[in-house]
Structure 1
Amino acid sequence: MKLDVINIDGSAAGSVELSDEIFGQEPRRDILFRVVRWQRNNAQQGTHKVKTRSEVSYSTKKIVRQKGSGGARHGSRKAPIFRSGGVYKGPTPRSHGHELTKKVRKMGLMHALSAKAQAGKIVVLDNLDIEAGKTSALAKQVAALGWKRALVIDGATVNENFAQAARNLGNVDVLPTMGANVMDILKRDTLVLTKAGVEGLEARLK
């Protein structure tokens, strides 16, 4: 697959050949779903907690005498049936993460890239070199290029000036090659890759 390469100012900068093995696959929704669910579950904190009857602060005095009252034989107001009592089988802190094989994770990333390529939503930049890390200047360039919600993937490290300029732009996210992931790719309208980013992704996925 051949794509045109542009500079950050929109001028032409040649072309690049993308690997069909990585960018030319038929996207599978089931694989993408599995990888996104794995990412979201691993990101979930799992800190939900309620107090059981052994943890609530209440008197332990027996409510009424055992016999003769005509009522039930209750021994504590901490029981779940009472107001302010403990919760029975409520949520406790736990990890929501689960295992997913490296093969499926690798397939998911390739299918996410292929989905963007199939939709014509991949832009290749020569590099991210800008004169200064000015957010206002980068915002004008992004608007001129027509990027509404973009994910920019650079090489092993991200250009410092570009990262600084993009830090306060809500519609632009920047990641190094190793930070590329399925969920971030799918939830952005435009995927912007530098030449170094393309090389890094192909080296990572081959």
Structure 2
Amino acid sequence: MELEVIDRQGKATGKKVTLSADVFGVTPNEHAIWLEVKQYLANQRQGTHKAKERAEVSRTGKKLHRQKGTGGARHGSRRSPIFVGGGTIFGPRPRDYGFKLNKKVKALAKRSILSDRAANGKIKIVEDFVLEAPKTKDYIAFLNAAGVAGKSLFVVDGVENNLYLSARNLPKTFVTEKNQVNIYDLVNADEILISESSLAHLESILK
């Protein structure tokens, strides 16, 4: 697939790039996408939840009443889960929610998303540019010129502080470095903008 490279004003520069069929032309694998999104979200969880069990609650350990002759059930402690203020049965404990996922599956998931967006004309290659100052209106003008209306992800070559600061107040767009691209941002974006200098890197790590 061949795409025109556009500039900051959204105009064609006259340059064209050929997208790798191994990265932008595969048949999307929805299950691989689901697995990697699931792993990404699991890794975001702190897992620090904790509820006190009967051995941990602060209540008297004195036996409530005598064992026999009351006509009621036999009880030995107020810490029992059946009493208000007692311990929690099978309460949550600190744990790690992460799980292993093969590198090939993760790469397939990213290729699947990129291929889906490319097939629907939702990938744009942008000539490298820098913003002179962090101004949100300048970034909005760039998006409008590029014809981007929905949620978007802009993959840039390196740390471009002014670009990042200009975009961070916009809820429907995100700027990320080529080394920080993750499946969640890709899935969330209706349109993906890729800087000309970061395209080769993306193709090399995902083949």
Normalization by structure 1: what TM-score? 0.93
Per the alignment, residue 152 of structure 1 pairs with 154
Per the alignment, residue 10 of structure 2 pairs with 10
Q: Is the 8 A contact 1:128 1:159 kept in 2?
A: no
Measured after TM superposition, the shift of residue 193 of structure 1 is 0.3
Q: Which moved more, 1:78-87 or 1:58-67?
A: 58-67
Listed as ranges, the gaps of 5+ residues in structure 1 are none
Measured after TM superposition, the shift of residue 195 of structure 1 is 0.8
Per the alignment, residue 48 of structure 1 pairs with 49
Q: Is the 8 A contact 2:8 2:145 kept in 1?
A: no
Give deviations 1:145-194, integer Å, cap 9, x for gaps.
33221100012x13222122112222221111111122210111110001
Q: Figure out how many residues of one structure are paired with residues of the other and give that number.
A: 205
Measured after TM superposition, the shift of residue 126 of structure 1 is 0.6
SS of match in other structure, 2:199? helix
Per the alignment, residue 169 of structure 2 pairs with 168
Q: 1:12 and 1:83 mapped to 2: Cα distance?
A: 70
Per the alignment, residue 24 of structure 2 pairs with 23
Measured after TM superposition, the shift of residue 140 of structure 1 is 2.8
Q: 1:132 and 1:191 mapped to 2: Cα distance?
A: 23
Measured after TM superposition, the shift of residue 37 of structure 1 is 1.1
Q: Which amino acid aligns with 2:4?
A: D
1:98 aligns with 2:81: no
Per the alignment, residue 191 of structure 1 pairs with 192
Q: Cα RMSD (Å) of the superposition? A: 1.4
Q: Is the 8 A contact 1:128 1:162 kept in 2?
A: no
SS of match in other structure, 1:153? strand
Q: 1:181 and 1:36 mapped to 2: Cα distance?
A: 9
Matches within 5 A, 1:32-181: 32-147=33-148, 148-155=150-157, 157-181=158-182
Measured after TM superposition, the shift of residue 132 of structure 1 is 2.1
Q: Is the 8 A contact 1:50 1:91 kept in 2?
A: yes
SS of match in other structure, 1:175? strand
Normalization by structure 2: what TM-score? 0.93
Q: 1:56 and 1:89 mapped to 2: Cα distance?
A: 14
Q: 1:197 and 1:158 mapped to 2: Cα distance?
A: 12
Measured after TM superposition, the shift of residue 29 of structure 1 is 0.8
SS of match in other structure, 1:192? strand
Q: Is the 8 A contact 2:167 2:174 kept in 1?
A: yes
Q: Which amino acid aligns with 1:87?
A: T
Q: Which amino acid aligns with 1:84?
A: G
Q: Which amino acid aligns with 2:96?
A: S
Give deviations 1:128-150, integer Å, cap 9, x for gaps.
32232211222233234332211
Percent identity of paired positions between Structure 1 and Structure 2? 39
Listed as ranges, the gaps of 5+ residues in structure 2 are none
